[in-house]
Structure 1
């Protein structure tokens, strides 16, 4: 969609939210359109209401990712981490959510944990021949990436 189309959708969705302020799906879409336009701060309350009011399925999964990402974008790393941890408790296998969570860990200064998590996720989620070839070593190193043998 173009920015003009997002702007048009935003106007329509804002009218809909006035009629149904608690509707989780409308809240999600209000958040997503604001997010797409670069208005992360405006998107956040809509994402929160969507989750609080029971948005479900793929939209719930996306709401956790996008809310966490929005908090991360504005530098609210603690909130981002909390949202993404909660999302991962509901959707523990979501690879995108794991990546956003690990980026948040990195932003919070927990570089080692972010890296080791990403390495472990890469190894477990890859069918790439070279990753599979070195899987055992990569898993071993992911447990203690700083260890040195002399």
Structure 2
């Protein structure tokens, strides 16, 4: 138990460093923590995030992948639902930034299936769809998101029409 509490304390310190703007120190601390706890999904996720905020997307990928793999294998230290969403979004976005568009579409499509109410996942999926040349599906996804989430009164007034045309962008009526 003492070891677990020590690990949680070190993780909290590293996250506090990142949140306090000491991003490189946080990354170094998390890399060391991830090396000593390779099966800990939460540490892997936080380490991925620490790389992402420094613009080190390629270095973030294996940590995101480890976090999601460990979470799926049912280890004792999985991810919370919120962190799982964050890891899926982070990895999907990172794949896209790295030009791994098909990987981004595959991952984000699965993530949207798992968390259909998450608008950010749908927005990043739309961007990845655009990058793969699936422009029709990209716009459809964005229009559905707009219709479902906009508070703009003029959009709300045309919600049904937007939803209708999202299903068939070539419709004339």
- TM class by shorter-chain length? over 0.9
2:154 is aligned with 1:130: yes
Residues 120 and 142 in structure 1, CA contact (< 8 A), matched pair in contact too: yes
State how many pairs are aligned. 149
- Of 67, 70, 84, the match for 1:50: 67
* Cα-to-partner distance string for 1:109-145 (whole Å, 9 max, x where unaligned): 0101100111111112223211111122222222222
Residue of structure 1 in register with 2:4 after alignment: none
Q: Tell me the TM-score normalized by structure 2.
A: 0.81
- Structure 2 gap ranges (5+): 1-17, 72-78
What residue ranges of structure 1 are gaps of 5+ in the alignment?
Answer: none
Choose which of 44, 50, 55 in structure 2 pairs with 1:38: 55
Task: For residues 32-75 of structure 1, give each alpha carbon's deviation from its aligned partner in whole angstroms, at most 9, with x where no partner exists.
Answer: 01011111111001001101111222110000000000000010
Alignment of 1:61-80 (within 5 A): 61-80=85-104
- Tell me the distance in 2 between the aligned counterparts of 1:20 and 1:2: 22
1:105 aligns with 2:129: yes
- Deviation for aligned residue 1:4: 6.5
Which residues in structure 2 correspond to 1:7-46 (within 5 Å)? Answer: 7-46=24-63
CA distance in 2, matches of 1:134, 1:119: 11
- CA distance, structure 1, for counterparts of residue 30 and residue 19 of structure 2: 16
Could you state the TM-score of these two structures normalised by the residue count of structure 1?
Answer: 0.92
Larger RCO, structure (CA 8 Å, separation 6 or more): 1
